[in-house]
Amino acid sequence: MFNQNLPTYIHTFETDPRWKTFQSEHYIFHYFAESEAEKDLGHIVKTQESAYQKITTTLKLDNPGKLIEYYLYPDKETMTILTGFDWYAQAILNEFRVHMIYTEKDKPLGEHEDTHLLSLPWGLSFGLFNEGLAESMVGHAWDGTPHLTYVKEGYAKGMYLALSELMDHQGWLNSPEDGRVMYWYSLVGAFATFLIQQFGIERFEKLYRNTSRENTKEQNSGIFESVYGQTIIEAERGFKETL
C-alpha cells in the first residue's frame, strides 16, 4: 500500500447513479450524460491511450494487468461533493483511479496522472522526482508553454529554492503555492528531463526506486550522489548551465 496524505478524500462518487461508463483497452471512463466529457469521449480515449503508450514505452514499464479508472466531473462543485477534492485532478494510487474535472474550459488530460499510477512498480519517490517524472512525461507546462520557458523566468525572478532544499517530501510540500502550477512543476519536470536525457532512464529508475518520502534530505541526497556520482548541488549547477 502507498501512503498518500488525502485527509479530505471521500467515496460518495461510488454510489452516485448518474455515471455512464465506457471501457477502452487500458481504461474505464466514468462520466455524466450530456456532459463535456461525454461530448469529447472519443478525444479523451484517444488522448489517454496515446499517453499510456508513451509512458510505458519511454519508461520501459510492463502492463500493470489492470485498467486505470477515470472519473470525469462536470464542474468543481460536483467533484468536491463526491470526492472531497477541489483540485483539477488527483490520482489515487491504491485504487488505480484518477478523479478529474472536465469542463469546456478545463481539460487536464495527458500523461501526468497516469505516470503516477503506471510508475508504481518503481515505488513512490518524494515530490521532486515523483512530480518531476510526471511532468517530464507531459513535456510542457499546464498551458502548453515549454517547461524551460518558465524555468528561465523563475530563476531570473529568484523564485526558486535550491533543489537541495527539495530533497525530502516536506521540502516539496513547503514550496510556495504561488506559481507552483507553472513555475515549480516546470522546474521539477525540466530537471527530471535533464537527468533522463543526460544519464539515461535506467539510472533515473535506480534513483526513483531507492529514494523515499520517508527519508531525510540527507538520506535522499546521499542516494542521489551514489547514483549520479555528483551532489544535487553540482547537478543543479550543470542543469542551469544548459538553460
Describe the chain by its helix, strand, coil percentages, rounded to 5: 55, 10, 35
The residues near 174 (Cβ < 8 Å, ≥ 6 apart) are none
The H or E element containing residue 136 is helix 127-138
pLDDT digits (tens, 9 = 90+) for 26-73: 999 999 999 999 999 999 999 999 999 999 999 999 999 999 999 999
In angstroms, the CA 114 to CA 44 distance is 13
Q: What percent of the chain has pLDDT over 90?
A: 92
pLDDT digits (tens, 9 = 90+) for 76-115: 999 999 999 988 999 999 999 999 999 999 999 999 999 9
With beta carbons less than 8 A apart as the criterion, state whether 141 and 150 touch: yes
Sketch out the chain's domains with CATH numbers: 12-121 (3.40.30.160), 125-241 (no CATH)
Query: Is 198 in a helix, a strand, or coil?
Result: helix
pLDDT digits (tens, 9 = 90+) for 109-136: 999 999 999 999 999 999 999 999 999 9
